[in-house]
A and B are shown apart, each in its own frame.
Chain A
């Protein structure tokens, strides 16, 4: 398995809703990342997990809450989002391995729309 799987692919939520994004990889990578990408812009780093521990939080608002329950799974819990949070949310993993040694493997993203 050389993929990072993100679910759901599309999500529409109201500003009072609570939802979660899921990211899963089975490549044995021990570093996982959440990125936010607005249209026609590069991805911006949100969170970094290394060996299931949060190592970087790029001053992300508390309405975004990451969680890494185990080495294969990364969640992003969403609550009370604003319309400006609408974006593509990308998950990536990194590590030595047969897939891409020292490279980053990205999921196909979750397109989030906040209404």
Chain B
């Protein structure tokens, strides 16, 4: 079974600074996807960024980028120029290529933005 581990229950960052959220995973599959989802208090689960395992290039979406280390099974999220609206729970998630088993989530990291 796949597992996803987020070792930082809570992180705090000053507005406009950069923060990195950690995630490691374990799988024996070769075809899979990794995701970061954001869940603000409004509870909507919002896709932040995704990475296909077969792609060596790290995904980026505006201020969000990942450091995907396939051999180390590490998938960290970097948020640059942090904004107050980035405050939320961030979940790292794994999906097999076919998606038949849905998403496996880490326990989440609560991100606090200090003004």
What residues make up the interface of A, taking CB atoms closer than 8 Å to B?
Answer: 31, 33, 35, 40-43, 45, 48, 50, 55-56, 88, 90, 92, 94, 100, 102-106, 108-109, 111
Contacts and interface: CB of A to CB of B under 8 A. Distances in A.
B43 A88 contact: yes
Given A103-B50, A104-B95, A56 B100 contact: yes
Interface residues of B, number: 23
A108 B46 CA distance: 9
Given A100-B47, A104-B47, A42 B101 contact: no
B11 to A, nearest CB: 15
Interface in B17-47: 33, 35, 37, 42-47
Given A42-B107, A108-B43, A102 B33 contact: yes
Contacts of A104: 35, 47, 95, 99, 102-103
Interface string B88-115: 0001000100011111111110000000
Nearest to A106: B45
A112 to B, nearest CB: 12
B35 A45 contact: no
Nearest to B95: A104
The 4 closest A-B pairs by CB, nearest first: A42-B105, A106-B45, A45-B102, A108-B44
Nearest to B91: A42
Interface in B34-64: 35, 37, 42-47, 50, 52
A43 B102 CA distance: 11
A100 B102 CA distance: 15
Interface in B74-100: 91, 95, 99-100
Given A42-B106, A42-B107, A90 B99 contact: no
B16 to A, nearest CB: 28
A45 B103 contact: yes
Contacts of A41: 107-108
Given A41-B107, A88-B43, 17 more contacts: A40-B108, A42-B107, A43-B45, A45-B104, A48-B100, A50-B100, A92-B45, A92-B103, A100-B50, A102-B33, A103-B33, A104-B103, A105-B47, A106-B44, A106-B45, A108-B42, A111-B43
